[in-house]
Chains A and B, each alone.
Chain A
Amino acid sequence: MYPLNTRLINIVQESPSTRTFFFDRYFDANAGQFLMVWVHGVDEIPMTLSYNSGITVQKVGDATSRLFKMEKGDTIGLRGPFGNGFTLPKKSDKILLVAGGLGAAPLAPLAEYSFKNGVDVTTILGARSSTELIFGKRFSSAGDLYITTDDGTSGTCGFVTDILTNLNLSDYDRIYTCGPEVMLGCIFNMLQDEKYVLEKTEFNLHRYFKCGIGVCGACCIDPKGLRVCKDGPVFKGTELIDSEFGEYKRDASGKKVNI
């Protein structure tokens, strides 16, 4: 597909470093699917759909900084939605969402979908500090919410894993996680010994994307050569056993870099 020229219709500051960009185009997508967002003249970068018509962006480099300079009425090019998205829960399932920082972006639409469909939702939402917490309202309207911050400015002082250890994970039919890979790696290590828990846990991964459509191989993870852009970005915990996940990734040239 050609990039679809799309107009920004609203921009919302979510935290000091993140903004949601709403656009005049609706994507019928599963939570966890992503778009390739073309910032004209700069770059094209992967972004999770945090709404059917919106993406939530953290300013980290060239393309995201250019996006932050944009105003209502400006246009971007969008390709997608791509990737698999999360396995949707069934009515009357009990699910646990674990979101760290921007990891809330794909999980908030999943929380809303689940609530609408009669699923029992519990969320653990973590961030560095209270100002960096995003989508707290979207999660709390969908069910129970535990908040953690690294500096204790909101909720429990500590990490999402501190809450996770105190929950009885056999209570949940499905567990969904998204956040920095170091955090996901900690969760994975916690659950690794209990294969039945890993089996029902899904991890949303990030790798460097070029084509975004499963052809170039830039985003492949060892040792099975799974493509994060096409076979993922959501993987079952059991698919990640003995993989590079949590250890290393590849940069734009294909060189390994440690997590």
Chain B
Amino acid sequence: MVAKKALYPHPKNPVILASGIMGTTGASLTRMAYNGAGAVITKSIGPVPKKGHPNPTMIELENGFLNAMGLPNPSYTEFVQEIENAKNNTSVPIIASVFAGDKEGFVKVAEELSSANPDGFELNVSCPHAEGYGATIGCDSCLVEEITASVCDIIDVPVWVKLTPNVTNIVDIGKAAERGGADAVVAINTVKGMSIDINTGYPILGNRYGGLSGRAIRPIAVKCVYDLYASLDIPVVGVGGVSCWQDAVEMVMAGASAVQVGSAVSQSLDVFKSISSGIEDYLYTNGYSTIDEIVGFSHKMG
């Protein structure tokens, strides 16, 4: 097994709030920290204000959620104060998620948000339903490497790159991020999906299609994390369908150094506490002293 470096200084609790969930304001991020998140990631912030797609923007399906929010955000000019607010009110790491249409945009947003001193950055090159942003970039390994390198150049806190599963080979993109200097990769963003109202024929989401999250995508995420762990030297953060400590342990055994939780927040805001205490009990019961001992464990097991 390869020793992976720490995700951010002083990691304590490996259960992190995923981007786009309760991350629109400093107050909502702080609330998630009080509810037991070990770190919190902001909503993805871009270079100009965006209202997002028309509603319906999110619906619950049998086994998960379909969303096409359309990256609504007030842009960095307004969001700096939200990060400052969160920094003033909680001590858990605050990670700023950034998106843009090109390298210059990513650099500009990251540079401007730096003034609020976030503890790290996550580059969203993976949103499946915002034309010209996100996954349009995240499918192109040259662009991912270039963008990662330009941001890493000007930022002195850890930079993570969040990957889309909607590609032929996620490892190629992960490697590009690693070459660009990423401190970790995060997998996965939502899986492209669509749902149609058979009474009227209308696609349900305002954007017609969107991204699937929640339970249904967990096996997809586990496979992506497993493959990335096997090929990369930098740490992998696992996200996708984690809703209880068993899911989190599975993700860690696949190779995740930490997990993010998004959709499961809909069950209860206490989900962070219950997952992190479940992981601790699991480690204790099985005679491990830290989570690092089981990161990528399943790779040794044939």
Q: Which residues of A contact B (CB under 8 A)?
A: 1-3, 5, 36, 38, 40-45, 75, 77, 79, 209-218, 220-225, 227, 250-256
A251 nearest CB across to chain B (Å): 7
- List, in ascending order, chain B residues with CB within 8 A of A45's CB: 55
- Whether the pair B27, A75 counts as a contact (CB closer than 8 A) is no
A237 nearest CB across to chain B (Å): 19
Q: Is B13 an interface residue (CB 8 A)?
A: no
- List, in ascending order, chain B residues with CB within 8 A of A41's CB: 202
Please name the residue on chain B nearest to A46 by beta carbon: B55
Interface residues on B, range: 35 or more
Among B27, B43, B65, chain A packs the most CB atoms within 10 A around the CB of B27
- List, in ascending order, chain B residues with CB within 8 A of A77's CB: 197, 200, 204
B93 nearest CB across to chain A (Å): 18
- List, in ascending order, chain A residues with CB within 8 A of B299's CB: none
- Whether the pair A44, B56 counts as a contact (CB closer than 8 A) is yes
A36 touches which of B56, B73, B195, B199 (Cβ 8 Å)? B56
Q: Is B20 an interface residue (CB 8 A)?
A: yes
- Give the complex CA separation of A243 and B29 in angstroms: 16
Among the 9-residue stretches B46-54, B111-119, B219-227, B236-244, the one with 4 or more Cβ atoms under 8 Å from chain A is B46-54
What are 24 A-B contacts defined by CB distance under 8 Å? Answer: A1-B59, A5-B200, A36-B56, A38-B56, A40-B202, A43-B54, A44-B206, A75-B199, A77-B204, A212-B58, A214-B266, A216-B21, A217-B24, A217-B43, A220-B28, A224-B31, A225-B25, A225-B28, A225-B31, A250-B74, A252-B51, A252-B52, A254-B72, A255-B49
A215 touches which of B65, B202, B204 (Cβ 8 Å)? B65
Among B55, B61, B65, B263, chain A packs the most CB atoms within 10 A around the CB of B55
B58 touches which of A75, A211, A250, A251 (Cβ 8 Å)? A211
- Give the complex CA separation of A187 and B60 in angstroms: 37
B287 nearest CB across to chain A (Å): 37
- List, in ascending order, chain B residues with CB within 8 A of A227's CB: 22, 28
B195 touches which of A2, A38, A250, A251 (Cβ 8 Å)? A2
- Whether the pair B25, A213 counts as a contact (CB closer than 8 A) is no
Please name the residue on chain A nearest to B53 by beta carbon: A210
- Whether the pair A3, B56 counts as a contact (CB closer than 8 A) is yes
Please name the residue on chain A nearest to B82 by beta carbon: A254
Q: Is B57 an interface residue (CB 8 A)?
A: yes
Q: Add 13 more A-B contacts to A36-B55, A38-B55 (CB < 8 A).
A: A1-B59, A3-B59, A5-B197, A43-B55, A211-B67, A212-B58, A215-B263, A216-B22, A216-B69, A223-B27, A254-B43, A255-B49, A256-B78
Known: A216-B21, A250-B25, A252-B51. A225 touches B197 (CB 8 A): no
Q: Is B148 an interface residue (CB 8 A)?
A: no
Q: Is B265 an interface residue (CB 8 A)?
A: yes
B270 nearest CB across to chain A (Å): 13
The SS class assigned to the A binding surface is loop
- List, in ascending order, chain A residues with CB within 8 A of B67's CB: 211, 216
Q: Is B30 an interface residue (CB 8 A)?
A: yes
- List, in ascending order, chain A residues with CB within 8 A of B120's CB: none
- Give the complex CA separation of A40 and B28 in angstroms: 31
Closest 3 CB pairs of A and B: A225-B31, A44-B55, A5-B199
- Give the complex CA separation of A36 and B60 in angstroms: 13
- List, in ascending order, chain A residues with CB within 8 A of B75's CB: 253
A254 touches which of B24, B197, B202 (Cβ 8 Å)? B24
- List, in ascending order, chain B residues with CB within 8 A of A217's CB: 21-25, 28, 43
- Give the complex CA separation of A255 and B204 in angstroms: 27
Among A36, A225, A252, A255, chain B packs the most CB atoms within 10 A around the CB of A225
- Whether the pair B200, A75 counts as a contact (CB closer than 8 A) is yes
Please name the residue on chain B nearest to A213 by beta carbon: B266
- Whether the pair B58, A215 counts as a contact (CB closer than 8 A) is yes
- Whether the pair A222, B27 counts as a contact (CB closer than 8 A) is yes
- List, in ascending order, chain A residues with CB within 8 A of B31's CB: 220, 224-225
- Whether the pair B54, A215 counts as a contact (CB closer than 8 A) is no
- Whether the pair B72, A225 counts as a contact (CB closer than 8 A) is no
- Give the complex CA separation of A5 and B202 in angstroms: 11
- Give the complex CA separation of A250 and B262 in angstroms: 22
Please name the residue on chain B nearest to A37 by beta carbon: B55
- 0/1 string, B244-276, CB within 8 A of A gives 1: 000000000000000000110110000000000
